[in-house]
Chain A
Amino acid sequence: MEVALEDNNPMEKVLPPDEQEIDVELEAKEKKYLRGEGANLETLKDKKLKTQLASREKLYGKSAKAAAKIEKWLLPASAGYLETDGLEKTWRINQTDIAKEVDKLSTRNQYDIVLPDFGPYKLDFTASGRHMLAGGRKGHLALVDMMNMNLIKEIQVGETVRDVAFLHNDQFFAAAQKKYSYIYSRDGTELHCLKERGSVARLRFLKNHFLLASINKIGQLHYQDVTYGNMVASIRTGKGRTDVMEVNPYNGVVALGHSGGTVTMWKPTSQVPLVQMHCHPGPVSSVAFHPNGHLMATSGKERKVKIWDLRKFEEIQTIHGFHAKTLSFSQKGLLAAGTGSFVQVLGDSSGGGYSRYMSHSMVKGYQVEKVMFRPYEDVLGIGHSMGWSSILIPGSGEPNFDSWVANPFETSKQRREKEVHLLLDKLPPETIMLDPSKIGAMRPSRRKDKPTRGEIEAEKEVAIEAAKSVELKKKTKGRNKPSKRTKKKKELVENAKKTFPEQEHGNVAGQKRRIGEVAGAELPTSLKRFARKN
């Protein structure tokens, strides 16, 4: 067995690899950075635009290449992995085995903290993974610095805590308590009491939009802007009470799991769900999103975990045999599921679907409440009924952090600067949509309703009135006769009248054509050219 955690020493095993291999690797990375292919410029008639776009494309290619090279050569650390030889299975390896293999520093990340009186615990990590927030159901809130295992602040709020969430950094956190939810500062001072949202079951923070989303006990979804403090949206889901809520990190869409087995996705600017998916025949017990936003994992009470492709809204995989009270994707795409006192980690190493990767069983009687991978570390945090634990899952965390995105070693000055940047880059709530890459593109065509007869009549009236009120020019002598003027005016009115039946005909023709177009649009792209053209 071979275990490697995130390696921070790149020079250790740089083998002289085949150049071709490198090229292939670089190409794959380049493709990732190119974000899709360029348009076919041959169809363009405008030569100037063509050359301009061509040069732009070239620049994009260059940029992607540079980025790929940077990723390949300059990023210091490589991801961890767990390798077995022979008949060994990765899921048979337990934490004690791993502890023997890994370095001293990593073993510090294996621990249980037993706090039997205030559990079960909810956990939340900051984006950088530096800080952890633990919220015991019975009112215990603890903010821990994970780097040096230092308890920064611990408070006892004296009432139920249903969920905890960090705001944009470790300076503020929100806790959903018995009646209201509250925002506390790092030192435990209560800053705000959010009364408007009622007794909240789940809290999530949308860090790009600075929105604090919450679902309360009567199934109302609230979005509150934490910069201005105004309630951006309060939506009645109409699906009953739920405590399954997760945010898609890719687009900021909030997903709720309901008792009817549906998962609904919401945005603050719409009162109806964007998508309703019927995922399970029984109640949905948890939902999780892959960091790239394309995958969603749901778990139902009927002991099934399903993986969905959110681009097609189709089920990719069903994993039988267990139901997860809590699910979580890691940065590298591992999926952790917690049930009872058992935690299972699934991995998609071969690309053929998720399969067992690792498992961990807690002491009997511990009930797992929440699993969450710690960002930028190969660590899984588990909140359970008797406190919280931390185990090592090799290959779960992103090995290289981008200090512009999330810096675990942030100084206070950097943090402050980052905060300002975050605020400047804050996105308005309407940018939350299923496909955010469509922002800036052409507006999707809106289907127009056919004007009713009454509307046409009214329009006609208006047109006739306009024609009647046209001031005729004063022409030269002889052409300015009253008879000629009246004739001209009559002609104008006639013309105005004439346009309407014609227009109606035109509309009909347009409709016909539209139907034809529709037929064309329906066909797959390869067959489109055979669509009837008018």
Chain B
Amino acid sequence: MGGGLKRKSSSSSKSLAKSKKKKGPHLPNSILKVIANQKRPLNSDEEDDDAIDSDDEHGGDLYEYEEGVPEEESRKNNRYDRHDNYDYELPEDFEDENVESEDDVNSENDEEVEGDDDDDRHTRMLQSLTGMPSAAFEGDSKSKPVLFTEAYPEGEFNPTRDVLEGKNVLTEEDFLAPLKGTPGYQKTSKQIARMQKGTKHVVHAPLPKPERERLERKAVKGIVDEEFGKWVHLVKKNREAPTVYFNKEVNLGYSTVSAIASDFQPRTEFEKKMASVLNDSEVTEAHRDDGARLLELNEVSMEDHIKDRNHIAKMRSLLFRHEVKSKRIKKIKSKTYHRLKNKDLKNSSLGALMDPEMAKEEAMRQEARRVEERMTLKHKNTGKWAKRMISRGLNVKYDGTKAAIAEQLQMNASLSRKMNSMRDGSSSDESEDEEELNDGSDEDTPSRLIAKAKEKTLKALEDDEVPNSGLMSLPFMARAMKKKNEEANEEAKRALEEYEEWENAGGENSKKPVEVSGRRAFGATAKVEAPKESRKDSDNFYDNSDSDNDMAGVEDNDMKAVRDTASPARNTGTMTDTEKFDDVVGNPASTTTFDVAMFASGSWKKMTGGKNTESKKASKKTRVPISQAQDKKGSRDDGSEDSESEAERMVDGVLTSASKETFEIPSQEEIINRAFAGDDVLDEFEKDKEEVLNQEVPKPEKPVLVPGWGNWTNIQRKIGISKHELQKHEAEKKEWEQGLKKRKDARLNHVIISEKVDKKAEKLHTTTLPYPYTSREVFENSMRMPIGPEFNPSTILAELNRPEVVKKTGVIIKPVKFEEVNPNDEVDDEHPRNHQKQRTKKKTSKRQGKVKSK
């Protein structure tokens, strides 16, 4: 703005010069002014020039800006709060160069013009100088026509607008000019010059408000930046620190009981008394010395002694009297007395404890009372009186009432308390009863059960009646029913037979019927004979590969018996050179098992003998088809089977020759199958892979011409499949190929890696990146190291797992304090104790943010 002002002022001076040139007879403005004000005679031209020069010197700066009153201050309406104006104001005694301002002359006119800006005034000035209409000067700046209001020609008593507005200000030189040449002139001019030097006699025009404010803000910002710049390093350090510490040593008060006790001040009378005794210097001293002084101090006065003695005597006599009384009572033989006494006892709870019968009765009564109490809530202060008392607050006021109400509550509590004893008793009784029942029926359960079952089946057999009406009477329903009934009857009959058998067998062995139940089909006669055999057969049938299952056939009892005998027949013939038998085989346990094994296998051989071979053969035969069915390739099973049987043969080589006999030469087909087992394996794998790929990345279907769809006419047929269909297919195919290429197993022919998404495992992954991370790679890399105690040395563990803020409970976190921080220092987290200064992280960062936003 300053520049702008200057320009204007210079232009004004130019125009002055111009006017001078053009209008010779016209007097310079200042002179006119002087004439008008001072009524002094006209001066020569040189003086004029001088005056103009001086004018030029200061002209630019003398421009006075009139600032509009801000809305806040104008108080036109009360929208703004009242406030003091801190803008710079001229002092009251300031003299404005003796110039009459327009304000003084025509203030009413001024009010309207107040808002006018510089340009306006400038043109007006030019106007006044040149006497030309304002339109001549208004080129770019103004479009509004200004009225020419000067009614009078300029004159001594008619000051120009310039003068009135204070455009051309009078200077000291103006005043001094007429005195030039007079004797005192030199002196005064010097004096004035000195004065001018000392004082800043010209007041600059204030800048416009927004400008000023901007400058102000700029200055303030500089200061603030500097002020906060000091904090930057500290804040940066705190933000970057992995951990902030607030565990400065702070006194949190007492930590021990003794510390609390040491600060104890006796307050009550009693405490004071105690303290006086405890802290008695004499006593403490006596304690410190030997006990003699203590005895002295312990002296009891005569009065106290007598009092004490009397008290003891009284107590003794009371005791004696009580004793005598009880003796007398014990001697009483009167029956009535005892009856009455017993009655009393009965009523009391003590009596109830003695007699269970009575206790039960008492408990019943108690229970009844409890129920009543719980139903009525009689003693819960629900009565009229109690309510009234409580509502009026009398229960607090009077002790009696309070006690009565409390008593009622107590009674309620005692009455409604749950009684456990009775319940327990009853439940135990029940269980006892049950036990009794069980005990009684234990011996004859099976027989009784059988009898019951029999009865029921008989009943069922008897009452199979066919309904005569309704749905059931329809012929086909009737037939079905009949069929069903027959079946049921048969079953029932069978069951009956069984029951009878059981009954015949008697209830001596309770296990037997259980065994039999599973093998109903065998009948009663078969089962006694060969339980083992049948078992073996079934074994061979179900489990074709386990020829050695027969171990099951060896009975436990046998084995035990053998173990007991423990014949020390050690087989040392098979020992090799590396065998160390010293402490291992010498172990008695292992030898016994060895023996057992010998014996057991021997017995088994004897038992199975020849009949096993048949079953073996059968099983061998059945094995082949089964295994083929199990395995489509037919190679695997045979191989494993074979190896198994081989191993068996080898193992049993010494013991069982039977298994060797069972070997059968496989058929030609089988042999060929086995020989070329691996031939199509690769092909099959490839097929598998294709299948899996098709499942996971489905191949797009090729568009086909469906007869009847889109080929009715000849033309349509010629065109064939539509172009866009084909295009679509191409795109899909491309995508499919991409998908295939993208797979991990794309280049591995021998591998299929499933890319199915495991939904259950999805919860182990994050769906989004956690907050500060923006790159997946960085995040996953930061997760690579485990931080648990199992994976890290204990020396580093604490550092790895330190929380962001370390703080003692109860410590007040003070706001951050300024401290010098070397910006080049790295964050040192190793020695947390070294920098325990309290700081807050958040506050500073906030402040920092504010500053930056400015």
Residue in contact with B800 in the complex, picked from A59, A362, A431, A522, CB distance below 8 Å = A59
Are A156 and B559 in contact (CB-based, < 8 A)? yes
Are A66 and B793 in contact (CB-based, < 8 A)? yes
Residue in contact with A36 in the complex, picked from B633, B678, B784, CB distance below 8 Å = B784
Closest CB-CB distance, B64 to chain A, in whole Å?
49
Residue in contact with B750 in the complex, picked from A259, A277, A447, CB distance below 8 Å = A277
* A16: Cβ under 8 A from any B Cβ: no
Closest CB-CB distance, B234 to chain A, in whole Å?
15
* B766: Cβ under 8 A from any A Cβ: yes
Given A39-B781, A151-B589, also A440-B765 (CB < 8 A): yes
Are A151 and B587 in contact (CB-based, < 8 A)? yes
Which of B373-381, B606-614, B754-762 has 4 or more CB atoms under 8 Å from chain A? B754-762
* B769: Cβ under 8 A from any A Cβ: yes
Q: Inside 8 A of B647's CB, which chain A residues have their CB?
A: 120, 367, 369, 385
* B637: Cβ under 8 A from any A Cβ: yes
Are A241 and B630 in contact (CB-based, < 8 A)? yes
Are B580 and A140 in contact (CB-based, < 8 A)? no
* A52: Cβ under 8 A from any B Cβ: yes
Which of A23-31, A106-114, A205-213, A222-230 has 4 or more CB atoms under 8 Å from chain B? A106-114
Docked complex Cα distance between A275 and B738 (Å): 21
Docked complex Cα distance between A301 and B779 (Å): 46
Are A276 and B688 in contact (CB-based, < 8 A)? yes
Given A39-B781, A70-B793, A120-B647, also A274-B754 (CB < 8 A): yes
Residue of A nearest to B583 (CB): A149
Are B742 and A518 in contact (CB-based, < 8 A)? yes
* A249: Cβ under 8 A from any B Cβ: no
Are B682 and A281 in contact (CB-based, < 8 A)? yes
Q: Inside 8 A of A116's CB, which chain B residues have their CB?
A: 571, 574, 597, 651, 654
Docked complex Cα distance between A385 and B760 (Å): 44
Are B678 and A302 in contact (CB-based, < 8 A)? yes
Q: Which residues, 297 to 332 on B, are CB-close (under 8 Å) to A?
A: none
Q: Inside 8 A of B735's CB, which chain A residues have their CB?
A: 515
* A269: Cβ under 8 A from any B Cβ: yes
Interface string of A40-63 (1 = CB under 8 A from B): 110111101101110110011011
Q: Which residues, 260 to 288 on A, are CB-close (under 8 Å) to B?
A: 260-262, 267, 269-270, 272-283
* B552: Cβ under 8 A from any A Cβ: yes
* A95: Cβ under 8 A from any B Cβ: yes
Closest CB-CB distance, B451 to chain A, in whole Å?
34
Interface string of B251-279 (1 = CB under 8 A from A): 00000000000000000000000000000
* B227: Cβ under 8 A from any A Cβ: no
Are B764 and A440 in contact (CB-based, < 8 A)? yes
Q: Which residues, 135 to 192 on A, are CB-close (under 8 Å) to B?
A: 137-140, 142, 149, 151, 154, 156, 158-160, 178-179
Are A260 and B593 in contact (CB-based, < 8 A)? no
Are B764 and A259 in contact (CB-based, < 8 A)? no
Q: Inside 8 A of B590's CB, which chain A residues have their CB?
A: 113, 115, 151, 154
Residue in contact with B549 in the complex, picked from A45, A111, A159, CB distance below 8 Å = A159
Are A118 and B781 in contact (CB-based, < 8 A)? no
Residue in contact with A313 in the complex, picked from B559, B745, B778, CB distance below 8 Å = B745
Are B575 and A114 in contact (CB-based, < 8 A)? yes
Given A114-B579, A115-B590, A438-B765, also A282-B792 (CB < 8 A): no
Are A282 and B742 in contact (CB-based, < 8 A)? no
Docked complex Cα distance between A267 and B754 (Å): 12
Docked complex Cα distance between A438 and B796 (Å): 25
Are B752 and A270 in contact (CB-based, < 8 A)? no
Residue in contact with B631 in the complex, picked from A41, A46, A259, CB distance below 8 Å = A259
Are B780 and A430 in contact (CB-based, < 8 A)? no
Are A282 and B239 in contact (CB-based, < 8 A)? no
* B777: Cβ under 8 A from any A Cβ: yes
Docked complex Cα distance between A279 and B401 (Å): 97
Closest CB-CB distance, A333 to chain B, in whole Å?
21
Closest CB-CB distance, A449 to chain B, in whole Å?
10
Given A262-B685, A281-B681, A430-B758, also A156-B596 (CB < 8 A): yes
Q: Which residues, 204 to 253 on A, are CB-close (under 8 Å) to B?
A: 218-219, 240-243
Query: Most A CB atoms within 10 A — which of B556, B685, B688, B793?
Result: B793
Q: Which residues, 763 to 810 on B, are CB-close (under 8 Å) to A?
A: 763-767, 769, 772-785, 790, 792-793, 795-796, 799-800
* A419: Cβ under 8 A from any B Cβ: no
Q: Inside 8 A of A51's CB, which chain B residues have their CB?
A: 240, 827
Q: Inside 8 A of B639's CB, which chain A residues have their CB?
A: 259, 283, 301
Given A63-B796, A274-B753, also A240-B632 (CB < 8 A): yes
Given A283-B677, A441-B766, A515-B738, also A49-B750 (CB < 8 A): no
Are B783 and A260 in contact (CB-based, < 8 A)? no
Are A443 and B767 in contact (CB-based, < 8 A)? yes
Are A404 and B790 in contact (CB-based, < 8 A)? yes
Residue in contact with B633 in the complex, picked from A62, A240, A438, A443, CB distance below 8 Å = A240
If over half of A's interface residues share one DSSP class (helix, strand or loop), that class is named, otherwise mixed; here it is loop
* A87: Cβ under 8 A from any B Cβ: no
Docked complex Cα distance between A133 and B554 (Å): 24
* A199: Cβ under 8 A from any B Cβ: yes
Closest CB-CB distance, A284 to chain B, in whole Å?
9
Residue in contact with A259 in the complex, picked from B548, B593, B635, B767, CB distance below 8 Å = B635
Interface string of A295-332 (1 = CB under 8 A from B): 00000011000000000011000000000010000000
Are A56 and B782 in contact (CB-based, < 8 A)? yes
Interface string of B706-746 (1 = CB under 8 A from A): 00000000000000000000000000000100110110010
Q: Inside 8 A of B597's CB, which chain A residues have their CB?
A: 115-118, 138, 140
Docked complex Cα distance between A178 and B536 (Å): 13
Residue in contact with A53 in the complex, picked from B598, B741, B757, B778, CB distance below 8 Å = B778
Given contacts A151-B587, A281-B678, 11 further A-B contacts (CB under 8 A): A62-B796, A110-B578, A111-B578, A112-B575, A137-B548, A178-B549, A276-B685, A283-B639, A440-B783, A443-B762, A518-B742
A-binding residues in B (CB < 8 A): 239-240, 242, 539, 543, 546, 548-549, 551-552, 554, 556, 559, 571, 574-581, 583-585, 587, 589-590, 593-594, 596-598, 600-601, 627, 630-633, 635-637, 639-640, 643, 647, 650-651, 653-655, 677-679, 681-682, 684-685, 688-689, 692, 735, 738-739, 741-742, 745, 748, 750-754, 756-758, 760-767, 769, 772-785, 790, 792-793, 795-796, 799-800, 827, 829
The 9 closest A-B pairs by CB, nearest first: A259-B636, A117-B597, A39-B781, A443-B765, A281-B678, A240-B631, A63-B796, A278-B750, A39-B778
19 A-B pairs with C-beta separation under 8 A: A43-B778, A95-B578, A110-B580, A111-B578, A115-B590, A116-B597, A138-B597, A154-B593, A158-B551, A159-B551, A240-B633, A261-B682, A261-B685, A276-B752, A278-B751, A282-B681, A441-B765, A442-B765, A522-B741
B-binding residues in A (CB < 8 A): 34-41, 43-46, 48-49, 51-53, 55-56, 59-60, 62-63, 66-67, 70, 95-96, 99, 107-108, 110-120, 137-140, 142, 149, 151, 154, 156, 158-160, 178-179, 199, 218-219, 240-243, 258-262, 267, 269-270, 272-283, 301-302, 313-314, 325, 362-363, 365, 367, 369, 385-386, 389, 391, 404, 430-431, 433, 437-444, 446-447, 515, 518, 521-522
